[in-house]
Amino acid sequence: MLPEPIAEPFTFTYVIGMQRIENYDNYRDFLKDYFQDRKKRFPYFSNRYFCQKSGIKSPSLFQEVVEGKRNLTQKTIAAFIKGMDLTDRDAAFFTILVHLNQAKTSQERDFYLSQLKNLKQKVQVEVVPADHYEYYSRWYNPAIRELCCIVKWNDDYELLGSLLQPPLKAKDAKESVELLLRLGFLTKDESGNFTQTSPAI
């Protein structure tokens, strides 16, 4: 069973997130940074937690892959993508990067390197929508994005805003949550629980 969100009051200090996946040329480095980033944000995060979330039976697989003791297969690539909640684009990049790093022949490496370059070019030419600038224009939007997923705040925007340092007005907290939902950076299920759609933005 996965850990419940934090219920007790606390003051949240925002941690600057990890790099975008496009900046990596080794998927094991990405996984290592991903783990460190999650651990900073969510104290309960662990190798066992990740494997449970991914549907992987071996609780040590994540660490063994990071250390280079084991490779990923098509099945475990899909499981890792699920565990990290990667977007379709990030999942495609991660998959190609895994195949590139695990390629056994120069022909394979050249093939996946070409795919990786093509994908990077597509990412670089993307235009950031105007409303995405709104996300980056307020320091508290990334912090709210984290808080929504780790605190039981029950739609109490005054409580949500008070957990930040400096505190945020309820009105601003509400507008931030609405922005995150509109941009697709967060999703909300029928039970009122929030989930990030991607580990990094």
Q: What is the pLDDT of residues 32-66, one digit of tens each?
A: 999 988 887 777 789 999 999 899 999 899 999 99
Does residue 5 register a pLDDT over 60?
A: no
Check whether residue 173 and residue 93 sit in a common domain: no
What distance in Å separates the CA atoms of residue 76 and residue 194, rounded to the nearest whole number? 26
Check whether residue 89 and residue 137 sit in a common domain: no
Domain of residue 110, residue span: 23-124
What distance in Å separates the CA atoms of residue 47 and residue 65, rounded to the nearest whole number? 11
Inside any domain, residue 169: yes
Does residue 98 register a pLDDT over 70?
A: yes
For residues 19 and 7, is the Cβ–Cβ distance under 8 A? no
For residues 66 and 38, is the Cβ–Cβ distance under 8 A? no
Residue 195: both structure tokens together: 């989930």
Inside any domain, residue 134: yes
**What is the pTM (predicted TM-score) of this model?**
0.60
Inside any domain, residue 100: yes
Check whether residue 101 and residue 149 sit in a common domain: no
Inside any domain, residue 18: no
pLDDT, the chain, mean = 83
Does residue 11 register a pLDDT over 70?
A: no
Cβ of 105: how many Cβ atoms within 10 Å?
A: 8
Does residue 12 register a pLDDT over 60?
A: no
Check whether residue 67 and residue 95 sit in a common domain: yes
Query: Which of 97, 124, 151 corresponds to the end of one domain?
Result: 124
Amino acid identity of 193?
N
pLDDT band at residue 201, thresholds of 50, 70 and 90? low
Check whether residue 79 and residue 136 sit in a common domain: no
At 143 the three-state DSSP class reads helix
Which pLDDT score, from 0 to 100, does residue 128 have? 52
Check whether residue 141 and residue 69 sit in a common domain: no
Amino acid identity of 28?
R
Query: Which of 124, 145, 170 corresponds to the end of one domain?
Result: 124
Check whether residue 47 and residue 81 sit in a common domain: yes
Residue 121: both structure tokens together: 């070019």
Mean pLDDT computed over 128-154 = 80
Check whether residue 65 and residue 146 sit in a common domain: no
Check whether residue 47 and residue 90 sit in a common domain: yes
What distance in Å separates the CA atoms of residue 54 and residue 75, rounded to the nearest whole number? 11
pLDDT band at residue 124, thresholds of 50, 70 and 90? low
Residue 86, H or E segment: none
Torsion-angle region of 112 (φ positive above 0: left; ψ -120 to 50: alpha; else: beta):
alpha
What distance in Å separates the CA atoms of residue 201 and residue 197, rounded to the nearest whole number? 10
- Residue 187 CA from chain centroid, whole number: 13
The structural domain count of the chain equals 2
For residues 9 and 192, is the Cβ–Cβ distance under 8 A? no
Residue 165: both structure tokens together: 């340092």
Inside any domain, residue 4: no
For residues 28 and 102, is the Cβ–Cβ distance under 8 A? no
Inside any domain, residue 16: no
Which pLDDT score, from 0 to 100, does residue 125 have? 47
Torsion-angle region of 54 (φ positive above 0: left; ψ -120 to 50: alpha; else: beta):
alpha
Mean pLDDT computed over 88-103 = 92
Check whether residue 74 and residue 98 sit in a common domain: yes
What distance in Å separates the CA atoms of residue 65 and residue 84, rounded to the nearest whole number? 15
